Amino acid sequence: SQNIFILGIESSCDDTAASVIHNGKILSNVIASQKIHEEFGGVVPELASRAHQQNIVPVVNQAIKKANITKEQLSAIAFTRGPGLMGSLLVGTSFAKSLAMGLNIPLIDVNHMQAHILAHFIDEEGFNKPPFPFLAMTISGGHTQIVKVSSYFDMEVLGETIDDAVGEAYDKSGKILGLGYPAGPEIDRLAQLGNPKAYSFTKPKVGGLNFSFSGLKTAILYFIQREVKVNPNFIKENINDICASIQFTIIGILIDKLKLASKQTGINHIAIGGGVSANSGIRHALKTGETKFDWITYVPKFEFTTDNAAMIAIVGYLKYLENDFSKQDVTASARLKI
Ligand code: KG4
Ligand code: ZN
């Protein structure tokens, strides 16, 4: 059997990450998250790019060291080509290109959105791989997408957000409520202490399998402003119920779309990924779907759901097996499509 070692590099947003995969198994998965954005309540592209430049060499070296191999043992370098922030993507792309050239090994470009989905194919004890075809829902601070996956590289986007991503809906709601950034985990924690039916927010009316979250954010803002006028302590006194109601609304939107996608395609294998897949509400709703709608659901190990390089490395491995390499003149693409 072959001994394939792939180095994966991810730098599409605010995390600099590198990972080494040996055949299908992850040997190392290193990530440097950028704390700098917290004080701004969101990712600042200029700062992200600069931090990637500082982090990329130590992160890659650490990934190789932790994998207990030498650079010379690498079979290929895989990197995120897009979508993402151009300044961030450029750092990973140029680094990957020069390293591949220096080592005289193949270069493999990876679509970040495909990688979120193919993270389900990392060999990991206790985690099942979905069979084809399956539906993948990628939900994070940057993405909200439902994809029909017919094989590793035959994917069709069935629907996606027309404005904000679901994680942004969490983070922007959190900002309105005075919570820290990112607010998703905190809203999730408080939501579990509150009444999900305390307040109701109308769900956006967006057709088919597309999503829209910007209207919800505005509805929450107006609601809070109105209540605070009456009672300045409204947020403090009702924070659990507010969070529970926001979470209930958001999860309802996601599950409604998944139900529709499953009905339209006749596919009942459903895989989720992205940072929001850590959410207790979505996990509980998926479990309920298993008994209610005969779904079979898949949630990868947490470290493979948020932005990471192991998912880039697994795609690199799958492409390597198909001799699907990129040329040295490949360029980063901020709006790369699946
Ligand atoms: O995948 P990720 O780490 O980075 C990208 O955005 O690509 O996702 C981060 C997003 C943030 O918006 C964060 O608020 C949200 O995921 N998030 C959550 C939870 N954990 C993280 N949202 C809701 N519930 C959670 N438990
Ligand atoms: Zn991502």
User: CA 62, CA 102: separation in Å to the nearest integer?
Assistant: 19
- Ligand 1 contact, 275 CB (< 6 A): yes
Closest CA to 275 of 257, 295, 296, 299: 299
Q: pLDDT truncated to tens, each residue of the chain (338 aa)? A: 589 999 999 999 888 999 999 999 999 999 998 777 777 777 888 888 888 899 999 999 999 999 999 999 999 999 999 999 999 999 999 999 999 999 999 999 999 999 999 999 999 999 999 999 999 999 999 999 999 999 999 999 999 999 999 999 999 999 999 999 899 999 999 999 999 999 999 988 898 999 999 999 999 999 999 999 999 999 999 999 999 999 999 999 999 999 999 999 999 999 999 999 999 999 999 999 999 999 999 999 999 999 999 999 999 999 999 999 999 999 999 999 99
Q: Where exactly are the structural domains of the chain?
A: 5-120+305-321, 129-299
Instruction: List residues, by chain if needed, whose CB lies under 5 Å from ion ligand 2.
Output: 140, 307
**Reported CATH class of domain 5-120+305-321:** alpha beta
Per DSSP, 193 falls in state T
38 closest CA partner among 202, 175, 237, 201: 175
Residue nearest to atom 13 of ligand 1 (CA): 184
Shortest CA distance to 302 belongs to which of 187, 174, 185?
A: 185
- Tell me the CA–centroid distance for residue 313 and ligand 2, in Å: 14
**What fold, for 129-299?**
Nucleotidyltransferase; domain 5 (3.30.420)
Q: Give whole-number Cα distances, 238 to 173, 224, 284, 330, in Å.
A: 14, 11, 23, 52
- Is the C-alpha dihedral spanning 300, 301, 302, 307 positive or negative? negative
Residue bearing the CA closest to ligand 1, atom 18? 184
For residue 114, give the ligand nearest its CA: 2
DSSP alpha helices (H): ranges in 157-233? 166-176, 184-191, 214-230
The answer to whether 223 and 273 are in contact (CB under 8 A) is: no
Global pTM exceeds 0.80: yes
The annotation status of 184 as a binding-site residue, yes or no, is yes
Whole-number pLDDT of residue 87: 93
Beta strands in 112-168 (DSSP E): 134-139, 144-151, 154-160
CA 274 to chain centre: 3
Query: Number of helices and strands (H, E) in the chain?
Result: 9, 10
Helix or strand holding residue 8 (H, E) = strand 5-10
106 preceded by cis ω (within 30°)? no
Are both 5-120+305-321 and 129-299 of the same fold? Answer: yes
Ligand 1: residue of 43, 306, 311, 312 to mutate (most ligand atoms within 8 A of CB) is: 306
Tell me if 140 is assigned to a ligand binding site.
Answer: yes
